[in-house]
Amino acid sequence: MHALTAPPLNFAERLLAFLHLCKPRVNTLIVFTAMIGMFLATPGFPPVLRFLVASTGIALVAFAAAALNCLVERTVDARMARTSQRATARGEISAVETTTLATLLGASGLWLLHVFINDLTLWLTLATFVGYTVVYTLILKPTTPMNIVIGGASGAMPPVLGWAAMTGQVAAEPLVLFLIIFLWTPPHFWALACYRRADYANAGLPMLPVTHGVAFTCQHILLYTILLAASSLIPVSLGMSGSFYLLAVSLLDLIFLGHAVALCRKYSDGLARRTFRYSIIYLSLLFAALFADRLFV
């Protein structure tokens, strides 16, 4: 376990450490799904300036939420091998610094959305921020093994935000994209929690593999993957996409289902790790297929 004090960092190192707290790799996928929502909401290409400003505003708020998540969980992170190197866990960046920088980022993002996009997108983005930093991080994650199921709603919002940014309203299409990410989130995080279960147990977090065991969790991974596969076909029935997306997502679903079945039949940490990594590829390629089908087919 790392102590919560560490040698001071210089200015450049502090900025780099704060950037790491913003979880740029995770938020890249989040912003990407918001961008696809913008493309699907607009005949042809969305207006470039509006697209860039909306993407920037959503990204800044997402960065702020991630940084505050790291701040709130700094003592928990210090007890987990996966997160113990975070600057907040090591005491390299103070709570005041993290809060100030996150507030500046979040406020800037919301300001951009208010001034240049529309207030619906602002309020939906703010609700997503509160859902992640307060409802999920402070209330659900430390209290219930179903935390990621309920809290996954915040992570599923970006396509809705993107759609609202372009149209000023919410329709059935972005809600389908919301559903896909909502059902994707549990198997994605439970696969991680399975092979990191000792970490979560040490941190005192009631993740499903810790409270109910790996076998039970793998059964639920399979259940949610089946639901995900079914929901991934809805864009075709709604006319949002065509044969290219159908072929692509069918292949993606079969591979994901294969991973889930294999976990139930003969679990190993290595397979859980591969399932987690594939889940990221799955969601990225699913949204890329939606974009390609819309643009080229």
Is the Cβ–Cβ distance between 291 and 39 less than 8 Å?
Answer: yes
- For residues 20-46, give the mean pLDDT: 93
Q: Give the model confidence (pLDDT) of 243-272 as tens digits.
A: 999 999 999 999 999 999 999 999 999 999
For residue 3, name the pLDDT band (cuts at 50, 70, 90).
very low
Q: Give the model confidence (pLDDT) of 187-208 as tens digits.
A: 999 999 999 999 999 988 999 9
Domains along the sequence of the chain with CATH: 10-168 (1.10.357.140), 171-297 (1.20.120)
